[in-house]
Copies of this chain bind each other. A is one copy, B any other.
Amino acid sequence: MPYPYNRLDAAGIEYIKSVTSPDRVAVGCDILPEYSHDEMPEYGVFPPDLYVEALNTGEVSAVMKYGYENNIPVVVRGAGSGLAGGATCKYAGILLSVVKMNRIYPVDRKNQTVTCEPGALLLDVQAAAAAEGLFYPPDPGEKTATIGGNVITNAGGMKAVRYGLTRDFVRCIQAVLPDGSVVEFSSNVVKNTTGYDVKDLVVGSEGTLCILTRVTLKLLPAPKFTCTLVMPFPDLEACADMVPKVLDLPFTPTAIEFLERELLEIVERTLNKPFPVPGGGAVLIVMYDASGREELETACDLACEAALEYGAIDCMIADTPERIASVWSVRGAILEGMKADSVGQEECDVVVPRSAIAEYVKAAKKIALAHGIRVQPCGHAGDGNIHTELLRDPGMSDEAWKSATHASLTELYALSKRLGGQLSGEHGIGNGRLEFLEPFLGERMIRLYKAIKLAFDEKLVLNPGKIVEFNTHN
Q: Which residues of B contact A467 (CB under 8 A)?
A: 195-196
Q: Which residues of B contact A298 (CB under 8 A)?
A: 291-292, 294
Q: Which residues of B contact A254 (CB under 8 A)?
A: none
The answer on a CB contact under 8 Å between B292 and A448 is no
The CA of A167 and the CA of B194, in the complex, are separated in Å by: 14
The CA of A385 and the CA of B444, in the complex, are separated in Å by: 38
The A434-474 residues at the B interface (CB cut-off 8 A) are 437, 440-442, 444-445, 448-449, 451-452, 454-456, 458, 467-468
The answer on a CB contact under 8 Å between B193 and A425 is yes
What's the nearest-Cβ distance from chain B to residue A238, in Å? 15
A201 at the interface (CB under 8 A from B): yes
Q: Which residues of B contact A468 (CB under 8 A)?
A: 195
Q: Known contacts being A192-B424, A197-B201, A200-B197, is A452 close to B455, with CB within 8 Å?
A: yes
The CA of A236 and the CA of B393, in the complex, are separated in Å by: 69
A279 at the interface (CB under 8 A from B): no
The answer on a CB contact under 8 Å between A196 and B452 is yes
The CA of A444 and the CA of B160, in the complex, are separated in Å by: 35
- Identify the closest chain B residue to A425 (Cβ): B191
- Identify the closest chain B residue to A165 (Cβ): B191
The answer on a CB contact under 8 Å between B109 and A352 is no
- Pairs across A and B, CB under 8 Å, 29 listed: A108-B355, A110-B354, A111-B354, A112-B247, A164-B168, A168-B168, A183-B448, A187-B420, A188-B353, A189-B383, A189-B425, A190-B382, A191-B385, A193-B424, A193-B426, A194-B440, A195-B429, A195-B441, A195-B445, A198-B449, A200-B201, A220-B252, A224-B250, A291-B295, A292-B295, A292-B298, A294-B294, A294-B298, A295-B295
The answer on a CB contact under 8 Å between B154 and A383 is no
The CA of A205 and the CA of B197, in the complex, are separated in Å by: 8
What's the nearest-Cβ distance from chain B to residue A255, in Å? 12
A392 at the interface (CB under 8 A from B): no
The 0/1 profile, CB within 8 Å of B marked 1, for residues 368-409 of chain A is 000000000000001111000000000000000000000000
A421 at the interface (CB under 8 A from B): yes
The answer on a CB contact under 8 Å between B201 and A196 is yes
Q: Interface SS of chain A: helix, strand, loop or mixed?
A: loop
**In-complex Cβ contact of A190 among B108, B160, B181 (8 A):** B160
The answer on a CB contact under 8 Å between B384 and A189 is yes
Q: Which residues of B contact A385 (CB under 8 A)?
A: 190-191
A283 at the interface (CB under 8 A from B): no
What's the nearest-Cβ distance from chain B to residue A384, in Å? 6
- Identify the closest chain B residue to A444 (Cβ): B181
A153 at the interface (CB under 8 A from B): yes
Q: Which residues of B contact A420 (CB under 8 A)?
A: 187-189
Q: Which residues of B contact A212 (CB under 8 A)?
A: none
Q: Which residues of B contact A354 (CB under 8 A)?
A: 110-111, 190
What's the nearest-Cβ distance from chain B to residue A303, in Å? 12
A427 at the interface (CB under 8 A from B): yes
**In-complex Cβ contact of A427 among B165, B189, B193 (8 A):** B193
The CA of A42 and the CA of B162, in the complex, are separated in Å by: 43
What's the nearest-Cβ distance from chain B to residue A116, in Å? 17
The 0/1 profile, CB within 8 Å of B marked 1, for residues 240-252 of chain A is 0000100111111
The answer on a CB contact under 8 Å between A186 and B294 is no
**In-complex Cβ contact of A192 among B164, B200, B425, B451 (8 A):** B425
The CA of A384 and the CA of B108, in the complex, are separated in Å by: 15
The answer on a CB contact under 8 Å between A441 and B201 is no
Name which of A192, A244, A295, A420 has the most chain B CB atoms within 10 A of its CB: A192
Q: Which residues of B contact A195 (CB under 8 A)?
A: 429, 437, 441, 445, 449, 467-468
Q: Which residues of B contact A200 (CB under 8 A)?
A: 167, 197, 200-201
The 0/1 profile, CB within 8 Å of B marked 1, for residues 215-231 of chain A is 00000110110000000
The CA of A156 and the CA of B192, in the complex, are separated in Å by: 9
The answer on a CB contact under 8 Å between A452 and B294 is no
The CA of A247 and the CA of B456, in the complex, are separated in Å by: 37
The answer on a CB contact under 8 Å between B441 and A194 is yes
The A175-191 residues at the B interface (CB cut-off 8 A) are 177, 181, 183, 186-191
A80 at the interface (CB under 8 A from B): no
